[in-house]
Structure 1
C-alpha cells in the first residue's frame, strides 16, 4: 500500500523509524533485537518501516556530542538480513555522495529485489569529498521509477535560516522525488512556514505538491533533549521549559507531539498538501520505545478520526 499511497499522493501515510544495532554487535544479539522489534511492530498499523543510516556528524558543529558516536550496522544489511520476515515495505536511508555511481546502482538493484525504497540524504559535513552528486544519484535510480518511489529529506530549521526549502523540494521533485520525510518537528511555526511556501510555489508553477511526512519523536530525558538540539532540531523555549518542568517528561512529550500532529493535519488539509507522519524510535530505553508505539497508535487513530486513513477493517474489505 505504501507505493500506491505515495504514487497517488494519498494523505494519512504512517511510518515508523528505527536505527540499526551497533556494528560491533554479535549476530545472535542482532537477531534478538530484530525479533523484539518485529514483535513490537506486529500489530502496529503502519505503511512502512524506515531504517536510518547513522552518520557521524561531529564535524558539523563545535558543540560536544551528548552521546558518543558508535558506528551502526548498515541499514540494508539489517533490513534484508534480520527484518525480512516483517511483512512491511522498508525505506532505507543512504548518503548518496559517499558512494560511486556503480556502488549506488548495485545498491539500488538490491533494494529493488527486496521491494525496499530509497531515501537519499546528504553527506555528513559540507566539505565531505562527494563521489556522486544527488542529481546523478536520482538519475541512476530513474530506471526504477515505474515500479518504485524515491524519497528525500526536508528540514524546517534550514528553511527558517535560508528560506529556500520550497525551492529545494521542487528541484528534487524534478529529479523524480515524490515524498519528503522531515527532520523531527518540535517547532510548529517552522513546519507551517515550509507548508505555506511550498503551497504557494506549487500554485505559482501549477505543480502538484509532493507528500510531506512529518517526523515526531518522544523525548524522555534532558540528555535526549540536548541530543536533539545538537542534531539541529529546534525546540522552542516555551516547549523546552514545559518538558523540563513536567513531572513526566516522556508523557508530556507524547502529548506535545499529538498537539503538533493535530495542527499539521489541519494546516496541510487546508492547503491541499498531501501529508503523513513518521514516528521515530531511536532511543534504547524501554520506556521511550513503548512511548513511540503509543504515539504511533494514537496518531493512527487521529488520522482515522479525521477521515484521512482507513481502519484495518476497511483495508481488509478493500483488499
Structure 2
C-alpha cells in the first residue's frame, strides 16, 4: 500500500502521473478516455496514480507558450467520477493558494472519504493573490495525519539557483510533509545536488529524510523539448543536442530517462535517502503514451532487480 510505503520510508515507490481531459470534453468522451487509461494501467505494477491540477503558467515568463493553454477538468472530480474502478490509491494535486481555508477543508474531507492523498503546490506566479498559505494548508490537513500522508513538490532547477531547496523541504517536513515529487528530471547533476544537500541537512539535524519521488518524462518531439524548457525544466546542452540529432527523439529520450532512473537509484541508495519514481504521461500522442507505459515497466523491473522494490498487486 502506498500509505504504508511512505509512512515506513520504503524505497522503490512507483507512481504514474496523468492530466485530466480538457474542460468542455463531452461526458461520453471523458468516460472513453478514462476507460482507455484504466486499460493501459491494468498491466502496470504501480503504487498510486497521480492526477495533476493543470495551471496556466504563462505569466511566469515573457517567452511565448509553445502550446496553447487549455483548462482541464478538476482532478478530484475526474478521479472520483471516472477512475473509481481503478483499484489503486490516487494522489491529487491542488494549488492551495487559490482557495479559502474553508474550501480547502471541505476539499480535504472529500479527498479523505475517497482514500485519496493530497499534494499541495504553489501558486502559478509570485504576484498571484494568495487566499491560503501553504503552511496554513498543511495545518488544515493535519487533522488527517494519522490516516493519511501529504506530499509536496521539489524543483532541482530552483535549488541550482537558490541553493535552499533542502531548507524548503525541511520546513515542509516540519508541517507534516513526508514525501516530495520532483519536477521532471533531465539534469542528473541538479537532482544529485538536492539528494546530497538534503542528506547532509538531515544528518546535521538528526532527522529522518523524506521520500523523494523523481518524475521521469519521455520527450517525443523538438516542440515538446521546447515546451519542457519553457516550463523551467533544464535539459543539459549535451543531452539537448543528442535528442535533436537523433533519428528517433522519442526512443532516445526513453533511453536517457532509463539511464537517469538507474543512476538516481544508485545515488539515493548509497546515501540512504528513500526514493521512488513518478512516470509522467501528459502527451496525447499514442507513441508517447506507450513509451510511458514501457518506462514504468522497465523502471519497475530495474527497482525489483536491484532489491529496492517489493511488488504491489494491481486489480482493476
SS at match of 2:223: helix
Aligned to 2:67: 67
CA deviations on 1:64-88 (whole Å, 9 max, x unpaired) are 0000000000000100010011001
- Taking the aligned partners of 2:62 and 2:243, their CA distance within structure 1 comes to 26
Aligned to 1:85: 85
Aligned to 1:238: 238
- Taking the aligned partners of 1:174 and 1:281, their CA distance within structure 2 comes to 31
Which structure has the higher relative contact order (CA within 8 Å, separation 6+)? 2
Return the offset for 1:38.
0.2
1:154 paired with 2:154, answer yes
CA deviations on 1:156-175 (whole Å, 9 max, x unpaired) are 00000000000000000000
**Segments of 4+ in structure 1 off by > 4 A?**
none
Aligned to 2:270: 270
Aligned to 2:119: 119
User: After the TM superposition, which residues 102-181 of structure 1 pair with which residues of structure 2 at under 5 Å, given as runs?
Assistant: 102-181=102-181
Aligned to 2:307: 307
How high is the TM-score relative to the length of structure 2?
Answer: 0.98
CA deviations on 1:183-236 (whole Å, 9 max, x unpaired) are 000000000000000000000000100000000001110000000000000000
CA deviations on 1:32-86 (whole Å, 9 max, x unpaired) are 0000000000110000000000000000000000000000000001000100110
Return the offset for 1:249.
0.7
- Taking the aligned partners of 2:82 and 2:88, their CA distance within structure 1 comes to 13
SS at match of 1:38: helix
Return the offset for 1:311.
3.8
Distance 1:142 1:311, change over 3 A: closer
User: After the TM superposition, which residues 258-297 of structure 1 pair with which residues of structure 2 at under 5 Å, given as runs?
Assistant: 258-297=258-297
1:195 paired with 2:189, answer no
CA deviations on 1:239-273 (whole Å, 9 max, x unpaired) are 00111111111111110001001110010001000
Aligned to 2:225: 225
1:208 paired with 2:196, answer no
Unaligned runs of 5+ in 2: none
SS at match of 1:36: helix
Question: What is the number of equivalent residue pairs in this alignment?
Answer: 314
User: After the TM superposition, which residues 14-29 of structure 1 pair with which residues of structure 2 at under 5 Å, given as runs?
Assistant: 14-29=14-29
Unaligned runs of 5+ in 1: none
